Structure 1
């Protein structure tokens, strides 16, 4: 294949892998042992000159390109002015501009406020802090298959034990888990029926009056790209409104045009009380946020929110460049075009093999779940794609899902070639 100059990994990557062994903690894993030197839209170039089709976007981070010109220009301009002051000490306009943009873009036309942080896990932790402070309640409800981060609290919120939680307890208390709507695996329940099942458990086992917030990914990410049945999110939202619990939408992986709308909550007209964002917000730089109703966000005492690096000026500049790119290139429409291109091909592929149990997703957040609830098949398919120079990712509680997260700016020919490789890999494993 002309994109590949060496066997994978190549000699320079192997040399770096050897250095890594004696320098990097072994608890940090890597999907591919290829060391990247540069990138462009839809391609990663490793240190041996191999050009890899990127269907992962650094886990939905580089949606606007890698690097996106507007992001690179904004970062260069900002770093030449100043790199850090700490917004809690001497503030700056970029932080305010990002908050203004988030208040405008997130679901709902009510008055909002935002606070900036560094990572998705940090945003989720702060959303829980705000919910508890504003409601005076302590219980947090989360869902089966959820993933919310790797800090102590967000590990408690996360469903999957290995590798995220094993050996790291005890975890934060007052976290309660209920079943998610999972159309492929929950016996054909409608969205309303699945919501009623979850609500019944909340009311019986937690008590509505104790619930500070219900935290949900509108489309689950690491848990398997699970798209709840229509009506599920709306029913959960209505219950929160009726009981005084806050609905917190974790849009860290789904946000910023990824699902064909600015946010996945938009697809069902759900307006969360609080929204957490990160990943695609800043074109590859670390930035996260909590955005929500002004009365909730302003309920926290001065000094109760913050952090040394939260809303770093360079990251804020990157975010403004990324958001400008999303608007100018209409990347929500680009995500819908990716769905219209890829989803029919995956569904046609599913007709050719019994290995595939479900094809699902929205926009440029698509998944293949294999019938066997074990990781072996997905792992074999992923390895075959990697050997052919196509980056795909696995996920799911059972490890049996291939997820596709191409950059929203990926050229059509690269997308088609990447899906060709994926199809060949699946048919090859199917025999």
Structure 2
């Protein structure tokens, strides 16, 4: 009986994993240019972290978390998102005490949500995220949004739409909350059970409901922008002004509601407008969360961040037919003839690799013709041929596989010769 891969997971095989490595490098390099440093947190945490940090009215906590008890009876959960873990580490390690503030961090790693698998959505998925903690300046909001857009554009995506909204401060949120309750309450029985439960706890989440999105009350629901107080409105205006000054195009959508409870002020999503990408167009989401650090036991500290699924990013690249500049071949393949040459080939192969040159040789004792075919399959740039004659003359026959040109090179200078060819 064969053991099958768990539903909602995938194997990322050689030939495909190089795309992931390239994407992660581009994102990492750009984060470092923005002075964000990497943080790595555990794959599982206390369940309470996500109940308190993500919000007990969210679908993630109510329906999607992988929870279990360890042998000590502690309730643990596989992390469904990265922000709560980063904030927990920020508090636990007292990063708020560092001299350089704000604390600017990025992370990448697997997340877990028990949801229905579909194209681009998995129960285990890889998320890349950014968090900036310690500043209330609208400029850091604009920086985070421009960084997110920058990663996508660096990778070659062009059919993008940045959608932003303001959820306001506490006072604005409270005024809007009351207006939403008054709007939905008379007909809340017409909505799904989730919306009915959210009416008093977090009515803003009703606007994010997928089941009742076409209900007539959704279209006429009070807009948060109409309830922004002067301070919140000024904050949002500054964010927009900074984005405009950086030539970051955006659209304001007052119906945009992020799915997590901890957001306030700026909220945003980046969507793909590529033809054939699918019904779910969101690639990236994020926003400001000024109360989250306190909720997890830290001092009053503002924060903002975003996260995106690399699986969704790859799907967008495919939809736009973007070919990543990835060379999957080897720089040099060694073809050896005869036992003595095969033994010497092991030494040459080691010298090439020590010099940082991607190299390979035959390990199946194949004939010369089959070794050349293997070099082709490995997409080798150069093939180095050694046999008894070459060993006696201390030479290596080097063939350029692109042009077919061949030349003899002294064994002592062989590695430097290949290195010079690859510059």
Structure with a larger share of its residues in strand: 2
Higher relative CO (Cα under 8 Å, sequence separation at least 6) belongs to 1
The TM tier, using the shorter chain, reads under 0.3
- For normalisation by structure 2, the TM-score amounts to 0.23
- For normalisation by structure 1, the TM-score amounts to 0.23
